[in-house]
Amino acid sequence: MTNARSSSEPIDVVSDRYVTISVDDGSAGDMKTADLLHKYGLQATFYIPGRNPERPVIGPSQIRELSRRFEIGSHTLNHAPLKFLSDEKASQEIREGKQLMEEVLGEAVISFCYPRGKFNGTTPILVKNAGFLGARTSLMNLHDFPRNPFLWGVSTQAYSHSKMIHVRHALLEGNFAGIRNFFQDYKGATDWEEHFSRALAHVGEHGGIAHMIMHSWEMEDLGQWKKLESVFAAISRSGLTSVTNGHLYRIWSSNRVSPVPVAEPAGGPR
């Protein structure tokens, strides 16, 4: 992947401490998540597909309601894992998902998220060519500006994974920085609240981006709304700057960030 940025005025990443939240899938519970985010004065990006064969997606009026306070990003037209589609079909999913959200909102949609975190070597280029500014993966245990803005990593998924899952996913994805960070900076934490508190602490001390990704339907299924509220309260106390994903994509594209090298990932499970 090429890096088109110039070396002019790099940001001192040590002095920039961000926190951002991704809410994926546009499920009915997103309205409740939005209320909680608002209560704690937090920003977030809601990645919403046009349709999802796995569960219902909120309608245009609710999407517009969310967009009054938060960013809406695209999550393809049919929530299809793009890694396994032809370039032509993948491109169609990416472009038509963007078009649909833009019709709903009446404004440009600049942020993209890969369904199930899956992509292949070409997918990030297709996303870029569709006119997005940045794309978020599900590569975990990362808290730095990426080398490639179409392969943006995250710190924590709001779901408790075992140590083995953390390591196995990272190996399959070629996310070697993630493995190192998991043990060094996240202290091998498996409980997601503890895991994200490590991200907040690390970024508070060293700079970077604490990025939590979540599904409202998982909060509902696992009865974890109280835990989510506790995490939101911790974020609001952290003193980090709460921004949307799109805000970070714009910073990246403004050529002001000095990139922190990360391995080019392969795009694996989940």
**Residues near Zn ion, by CB under 5 A:** 24-25, 115
Q: Report CA Rg, the chain.
A: 17
CB of 107 to Zn ion, least distance (A): 22
Instruction: Indicate the residue among 25 and 144 with the shorter CB distance to Zn ion.
Output: 25
The position carrying tokens 């990246």 is: 252
CB closer to Zn ion, 212 vs 251: 212
We find the least distance from the C-beta atom of residue 213 to Zn ion, in angstroms, to be 9
| Cα-Cα-Cα-Cα dihedral sign, residues 87, 76, 25, 79 | negative
- What is the sign of the dihedral through the CA atoms of 52, 57, 60 and 66? negative
Decide whether 115 or 267 has the Cβ nearer to Zn ion: 115
Nearest to 94 by CA among 38, 43, 152, 135: 135
Smallest separation, CB 74 to Zn ion (Å) = 11
- In the complex, what is the shortest distance from the CB of residue 198 to Zn ion, in angstroms, rounded to a whole number? 24
Q: Which one, 51 or 147, has the nearer CB to Zn ion?
A: 51
Listed in sequence order, the residues at least 6 apart from 102 whose beta carbon sits closer than 8 Å to its beta carbon are: 108, 109
Taking the chain, what is the end-to-end CA distance rounded to the nearest angstrom? Answer: 23
CB of 24 to Zn ion, least distance (A): 4
48 three-state secondary structure: strand
Residue 247, CA atoms < 13 Å, CB-side half-sphere: 16
Q: What is the DSSP letter of 13?
A: G
Token pair of 233 as six digits: 């309260």
Q: Which is nearer to Zn ion, 104 or 113 (CB)?
A: 113
- The residue among 155 and 181 lying less far from Zn ion, judged by its C-beta, is 155
Using DSSP bridges, classify how beta strands 17-24 and 241-243 pair: parallel, antiparallel or unpaired. parallel
